[in-house]
Structure 1
Amino acid sequence: MNKIDISSPDVFTIEIIKSALTAIGDEMFLTQRRTSMSPIIYESLDYGVGITDGSGRLIAQGNGIPGFIGTLDAAVLSVIEKFSGTNNIRPGDIFVTNDPYGGGGTHLSDVTLIKPVFHGTDIVAWTANKAHWTEVGGKDPGSFSPDSTDVYQEGLQFPCIKIFEADKPIASLMDLIAANVRLPDMTVGDIWAGVASLNVGARRFLGLLDKYGKATVEQAIDALLDHSAAMIGEKFQALPRGVFEAEDWVDEDGLGNGPFRITVKVTITDDEFITDYTGSDPQAPGPVNNTWCGLVSAVRQVFMSITSPGVLATEGCFRRIRIICPEGTITRARRPAPVSSYYEAMIVATDLVWKALAPHLPDRLPAGQFGSICSTVIDGTLENGEPYLLVEPLAGGWGAGQDKDGENGQFAVGNGETANIPVEITETRYGVLVEQYAFHQSTGGAGKFRGGRGVRLDYRILSDRAWLSTMFARGQTAPWAIAGGALGSCNFTTVRRADGSETAPFSKVGRLPLMKGDVVQLVTGAGGGWGDPEERAPERIKADIKDGYLTEDDAAALYGYRLD
Structure 2
Amino acid sequence: MDAINKAELDVAERRVDPFLMSVLKSRFEAIVREMTLVVMRASRSAVIKNARDFSCAILTYDHKLVSVEDALPIHVMSMDMATRPLTELFDDITQGDIFLNNCPYTGGTHHADLIMTMPVFHEGEPLFWVVALSHHADTGAPVPSTYLPFAKNIFEEGMHFPCVRVAQNYQEKKDILRIGTMRNRVPDMWLGDVRAQIGACRTGERRIGELFTRYGRDTIMGFVEDWFDYGARCAKAAIAKLPAGSYSYETRHDPVPGVADEGIPVRLTIHVDPVKGEIVVDARDNIDNVPGGLNLSENTATGSCRIGVFNNLDESIPHNEGAKSQIKVLLREGSVVGKPKYPVGTSVATTNVNDRLMIAGNCVFSRMGAPYGQAESGSHLPAGVGVISGEDPFKNGKSYVNQVFVGYAGGGARHGYDGWLTYCGPANAGLIQLDSVEVDESMYPIVIERRGVLPGSQGFGEFEGAPATGGVFYPLDHDMTIVYAADGTSFPPRGVLGGGDGKESESIKVRGGDRIVLPAFSEETIEDGAKIEFTACGGGGYGDPLKREPRRVVATVNRGWLSREDAETVYGVALMDAAEPGLLMVDEARTAELRASRR
CA distance in 2, matches of 1:50, 1:392: 25
**Partner secondary structure for residue 267 of structure 2:** strand
Among 389, 403, 406, the alignment partner of 1:391 is: 403
Residues 143, 532 of structure 1: alpha-carbon distance in 2 compared, 3 angstrom cutoff? closer
Deviation for aligned residue 1:358: 1.9
Greater Cα offset, 546-555 or 277-286 = 546-555
Contact 1:111 1:133 in 2 (8 A): yes
**306, 321, 338: which one pairs with 1:315?**
321
> Which residue of structure 1 aligns with residue 156 of structure 2?
153
* Distance in 2 between residues matched to 1:281 and 1:442, nearest whole Å: 35
Query: Counterparts of 1:523 and 1:142 in 2: how far apart (Å)?
Result: 20
Q: Does 1:280 align with 2:283?
A: no
User: What is the CA distance between 1:556 and its match in structure 2?
Assistant: 6.0
1:179 aligned onto 2:182: yes
Structure 2 CA distance for partners of 1:562 and 1:494, relative to 1, 3 Å: farther
Cα deviations by residue, 1:120-165 (Å, 9 ceiling, x for unpaired):
2211211111110111111011333232221221100011110111
Root-mean-square deviation (CA, aligned residues, Å) is 2.1
Number of equivalent positions: 552
Partner of 1:21: 28
Q: Distance in 2 between matches of 1:378 and 1:108?
A: 18
Task: Give the structure 1 partner of residue 17 of structure 2.
Answer: 10
For 1:138-537, what aligned pairs fall within 5 Å after superposition?
138-253=141-256, 255=258, 257=260, 258-269=262-273, 270-271=275-276, 272-332=278-338, 333-342=340-349, 343-360=351-368, 362-363=370-371, 365-374=373-382, 375-383=385-393, 384=395, 385-393=397-405, 394-416=407-429, 417-497=431-511, 499-510=512-523, 512-536=524-548
Do the aligned partners of residues 248 and 239 (structure 1) sit closer, same or farther apart at CA in structure 2, a change above 3 Å counting?
same
SS at match of 1:205: helix
1:301 to partner: Cα distance? 1.5
Confirm whether residue 91 of structure 1 aligns to residue 95 of structure 2.
Answer: yes
Distance 2:84 2:359 in 1: 28
- Aligned amino acid, residue 99 of structure 2: F
Q: Check whether the contact 2:467–2:502 (CA below 8 A) recurs between aligned residues.
A: no
The percent of aligned pairs where both chains have the same amino acid is 23
Shift of the 70–21 alpha-carbon distance from structure 1 to 2, 3 Å rule, reads same
Query: Counterpart amino acid of 2:495?
Result: A
Say whether the 8 Å CA contact 2:138–2:402 is kept in structure 1. no
SS of residue paired to 1:143: coil
TM-superposed deviation, 1:540:
4.2
SS at match of 1:249: strand
Corresponding residue of 2:49? 42
- SS of the aligned residue for 2:311 comes to helix
Question: Match of 1:371, as an amino acid?
Answer: S
User: Structure 1 pair 137/536, CA: closer, same or farther in 2 (3 Å)?
Assistant: same
How far 1:252 moved relative to its partner? 2.3
Structure 1 counterpart SS, 2:362: helix
Instruction: Letter of the 1:432 partner, please give it.
Output: I
Which one-letter code corresponds to 1:277 in the other structure? A
Q: Is the 8 A contact 1:96 1:163 kept in 2?
A: yes
Alpha-carbon distance between aligned partners in 2 of 1:443 and 1:127, rounded to the nearest angstrom = 43
Q: Which amino acid aligns with 2:317?
A: V
The one-letter code of the counterpart of 1:334 is K
Q: Secondary structure at the match of 2:491?
A: coil
Q: Tell me, yes or no, if the aligned pair for 1:45 and 1:64 is still in contact at 8 Å.
A: no
Deviations 1:405-440 (A, max 9, x none): 323232211204211111111111112111111001
2:4 corresponds in structure 1 to none
Give the secondary structure class of the aligned counterpart of 1:419.
coil
Q: Is the 8 A contact 2:32 2:68 kept in 1?
A: yes
What are the ranges of 5 or more consecutive residues in structure 2 without an aligned counterpart?
Answer: 1-13, 577-599
Change (3 A) 1:451 1:306: closer
Counterpart of 1:72, as a letter, is M
Please list the CA deviations of residues 166-225 of structure 1 after superposition, one character each: whole Å capped at 9, or x if unmatched. 111111111111100000011000111001100111011011111111122111111111
Aligned equivalents of 1:466, 1:547: Cα separation in 2 = 35
How much has 1:100 moved relative to structure 2? Answer: 0.9
Partner of 1:141, secondary structure, is coil
> Which deviations, in whole Å up to 9, do the C-alpha atoms of 1:339-398 show, x marking residues without a partner?
121221111111112221124264453211113343411211222212222303543222
TM-score of the superposition, structure 2-length normalised?
0.88
SS at match of 2:105: coil
Q: 2:152–2:292: 8 Å Cα contact kept in structure 1?
A: yes
Q: In the aligned structure 1, how far is the partner of 2:15 from the partner of 2:428? A: 39
Tell me the secondary structure at the aligned position of residue 200 of structure 1: helix
CA distance change for structure 1 residues 8 and 318 in 2, over 3 Å: closer, same or farther? Answer: closer
CA separation in 2, counterparts of 1:335 and 1:130?
Answer: 23
Cα distance 1:557–1:134, how it changes in 2: closer, same or farther (>3 A)?
same
SS in 2 for 1:502: strand
The CA deviation at 1:554 is 5.1
How many angstroms does 1:553 deviate by?
5.4
Whether 2:66 is the aligned partner of 1:59: answer yes
Q: Return the TM-score normalized by structure 1.
A: 0.93
Name the CA distance, whole Å, in 1 between partners of 2:563 and 2:181.
52
**Separation of aligned partners in 1, 2:552 and 2:279:** 38
CA contact 1:99–1:107 (8 Å) conserved in 2: yes
**Cα distance in 2, alignment partners of residues 540 and 307 from structure 1:** 26
Distance 1:247 1:151 in 2: 28
2:104 paired residue number:
100
Question: C-alpha separation between the residues in 2 aligned to 1:535 and 1:318?
Answer: 36
The answer to whether the 8 A contact 1:442-1:525 is kept is: no
